[in-house]
Amino acid sequence: MTEKTLPLPPDPPLTERAYRYLAEVIYRRSRIRLGPDRRAFMAGRLAGRLRELGCGSFDDYCRLLDTPPGDHEAERLIELVSTNHTHFFREPAHFNYLAEEVLPRADERVRDDGRDLQCWCAAAASGEEAYSLAIVLAEHARNRPGLGWQVTASDISPRMLARCQAGMYDSGRVRLPRPEWLARYFRRGFGEREGVYRVKPDLRRQVTTTLINLFQDTYPLNTPQDVIFCRNVMIYFDEPSRQILVERLFEQLVPGGHLFVGHAESLLGIRHQFRQVRPAVYQRPAS
């Protein structure tokens, strides 16, 4: 007898009321703003989750969010509607500017202060951006004995951070500007890990992963930062939220430190005290 697979029941419809409720939960927690045109997108992203949880309707799902431990589900909800797209050396001009202009000056500053150079990758997703930063820093430090440096990689999504921490990427995704960096910073997987490259432990140790919602009350960063990459996340926030975020990032930088945002995200319309030094690169004045 051949086994027949039963057709899946149709996905429950996402009513306007349930959509508004979910969009509000997402906004309150993450500041990600989903407009009225995103209803079909949300229904598509959540259909599988409702099936997993055995929720027959979006009203059931909303009730689940409302009852303890709804917090955990709200985290999952945000992960499901977030865009995590990223890749190594995305927007490469930023990494060139970092290597050629920013690091040599930051270098002098940290030596004068007698401390390590600190970089924060503030919406790191699965980690490609944080490791791109780490590679540029490692290359910079190669000829500078005694220069200590760290990268903090953070994101709102625990799943993304777990991937960042693991540092394992399909070989096709590891595209680097210099071919020699592959052998220097990655190990090729064998057997079960065929087709996967893993960031070498020495480089992984330089990258600390921390769960940070950019709108949480305080950031658990112990020291001021020389460089902050906060790219391709502000586009999901509305202007009042971007205003708050930019002020907070300014405070997090040392005087003379640099903020990199995505090329599609200028600080236009935001009141700020930064000096723009390149497209999508801003510097906190030195004094």
Ligand X SMILES: C[S@@+](CC[C@H](N)C(=O)[O-])C[C@H]1O[C@@H](n2cnc3c(N)ncnc32)[C@H](O)[C@@H]1O
- Which residues are known catalytic residues? 45, 155
Where do the H-state alpha helices sit in 98-179? 103-113, 128-142, 158-166
Q: Which is nearer to ligand X, 167 or 262 (CB)?
A: 262
Stretch of 27-35, 47-55, 162-170, 266-274 lying at the interface with ligand X (CB under 6 A): 27-35
Measured distance CA(177)–CA(64) in Å, rounded: 47
Among residues 103, 123, 134, 136, which is the contact residue for ligand X, using CB under 6 A?
Answer: 123
27 binds ligand X (CB under 6 A): no
252 binds ligand X (CB under 6 A): no
Measured distance CA(167)–CA(176) in Å, rounded: 15
Give CB contacts under 8 A, 24+ apart, made by 218-221.
219/248, 219/252, 221/118, 221/120, 221/152, 221/252
Shortest distance, CB of residue 87 to ligand X, whole angstroms? 7
Q: Which is nearer to ligand X, 110 or 153 (CB)?
A: 153
Among residues 14, 19, 22, 30, which is the contact residue for ligand X, using CB under 6 A?
Answer: 30
Among residues 98, 102, 133, 156, which is the contact residue for ligand X, using CB under 6 A?
Answer: 156
Among residues 61, 97, 119, 129, which is the contact residue for ligand X, using CB under 6 A?
Answer: 129
Q: Which is nearer to ligand X, 12 or 118 (CB)?
A: 118
Where do the H-state alpha helices sit in 143-271? 158-166, 180-185, 201-204, 239-252
Q: Per residue in 242-269, is it b (16+ CB within 10 Å) or e — as a string? A: bbebbeebbebbbebbbbbbbeebebee
Question: Pattern 36-75, binding to ligand X, x per CB under 6 A?
Answer: ----------------------------------------
Name the nearest CA neighbour of 176 among 134, 222, 236, 146. 134
Q: Where do contacts with ligand X occur on this chain (CB under 6 A)?
A: 30-32, 82-86, 90, 123, 125, 129, 155-157, 160, 213-215, 231-233, 236, 262
